[in-house]
Structure 1
């Protein structure tokens, strides 16, 4: 069965860049790409008392604009070297981005989402776009790759996977990390950053580390221990020194802090991403 990849777009340059990244990342994989534009109507919000209906001038104008944008985007994609392993499907819908994504995941059994970190409406001051953060916060059904603004595709050769070994790993939740690593002969660098700087793990953490090693068997991986005052500094330093091309992290919704935004590691590296971020969910 083909891999099913969802590509949300607001027709911005960054969204197009993320689409190109996805086409390159999965160039040797049979894929169905679902390109989604969730359009809005100025003056209306989804929770307002009155929602515009099909046939009303505002709705029809916004729908037409969305469809014309999709047509232009498909013309641009056709300029990209054609790949007979790839098929494209387009979806335009009046909805919030997160809700539209949930519906498509459900209807099309989506495997992964690839999107840009910044759209048309994002201010230059905001490095990591609100839309992307909202999607990462709200979508737990499948992994998400967030591609930084203007990031030129590079084959992922070195992937960083930060962990604290506090909770057990499941093969399913890191499946996409393993798949990408095997697709591109990438090395997975498991990085444990220790603020105490003694490098000691508890018995439980040691067991979780062994479990992760078992799951990663058959891949090229290396375990690293880094002493650092700040977790984010340690990760960023590791990325720079090892020329890493991707950061993968587990967004565990059951943990005390609950979400990406309140996870201090992701907050620090996630809001100024130099390389694509692969967010894995424990669904």
Structure 2
């Protein structure tokens, strides 16, 4: 049984992400912690200014609690035939601090959230909450793009950075997820030149040992920007989910905020699963 943290701001985007998670884990027994975080300065500038004679509880807590209860009640009804346990959590703190506290106190195995971004010219841009959770919360995180319709993650794409190792805990965690939920893993070792990397030399031996009996493809691509490789591969293969092995901020920064890879975050159309090294 896993402990899964579902983050919501009550937007359609976040609710869609919650529904993805529940559909993904159908047929299993899991504890779902549904967390809504209110930002303190929002209270001071908005709610408290118009609260009048209402108590702080009525103006700040009760409203959010009722909305969260309505949301969770709906999820429980929709998935009443599943072995799911739900717990509602409301916090008034810095968003990432709140998430980190829940991850620690509830022994969370996976965080699920929407992109909380804005849409412009049909491009989804990751919002600050999503970016900060991936950067600052050391817990596997599954991010669902806006308006993404659930599809079983049968085929997963894993781009490998210069220093990413397939012989580590993060890759082992990915393989546990893959063997449970998907049918095929696509591995892309992306490098800036034709020089043979130390990790590249280790890949084949390790992959042949630990992916025995599991369907996979392995490719090495050089002299091509990461965003071009990923976008081209997704267009020519039936990829349902992208996975990343994040070493601190290195790969993440290049994948989402580097000058050559910003386009990936704008055009990401499938869920993203991040494991921290």
Q: TM-score range by the shorter chain?
A: 0.7 to 0.9
* Counterpart Cα distance in 2 of 1:228 and 1:237: 14
Q: Does 1:154 align with 2:151?
A: yes
* Counterpart Cα distance in 1 of 2:276 and 2:175: 14
Q: Secondary structure at the match of 2:269?
A: coil
Q: Does 1:4 align with 2:7?
A: no
Structural mapping, 1:75-90, within 5 Å: 75-90=73-88
* Counterpart Cα distance in 2 of 1:266 and 1:178: 25
* Counterpart Cα distance in 2 of 1:138 and 1:66: 25
* Counterpart Cα distance in 1 of 2:223 and 2:253: 24
* Counterpart Cα distance in 1 of 2:43 and 2:249: 37
Higher helix share: 2
1:85–1:175 CA distance, 2 compared to 1 (3 A): farther
Structural mapping, 1:235-246, within 5 Å: 235-246=230-241
- For 1:31, the equivalent position in structure 2 comes to 30
1:214-243 alpha-carbon deviations (Å, 9 max, x no partner): 343443222023356321011111012102
- For 1:175, the equivalent position in structure 2 comes to 172
Q: Is the 8 A contact 1:247 1:277 kept in 2?
A: yes
Q: Secondary structure at the match of 1:270?
A: helix
Kindly report the root-mean-square deviation, in angstroms, between the aligned alpha carbons of the 2 structures: 2.7
* Counterpart Cα distance in 2 of 1:257 and 1:280: 11
- For 2:14, the equivalent position in structure 1 comes to 15
- For 1:113, the equivalent position in structure 2 comes to 111
**Cα shift at 1:58:** 4.0
Q: Is the 8 A contact 2:125 2:265 kept in 1?
A: no
* Counterpart Cα distance in 2 of 1:78 and 1:137: 31
* Counterpart Cα distance in 2 of 1:251 and 1:267: 16
Q: Is the 8 A contact 1:147 1:276 kept in 2?
A: yes
Deviates more, 1:19-28 or 1:69-78: 69-78
- For 1:138, the equivalent position in structure 2 comes to 136
Unaligned runs of 5+ residues in structure 1 are: 46-55
Give the TM-score taking structure 1 as reference length.
Answer: 0.83
Give the TM-score taking structure 2 as reference length.
Answer: 0.84
Q: Is the 8 A contact 1:247 1:278 kept in 2?
A: yes
- The total of aligned residue pairs comes to 265
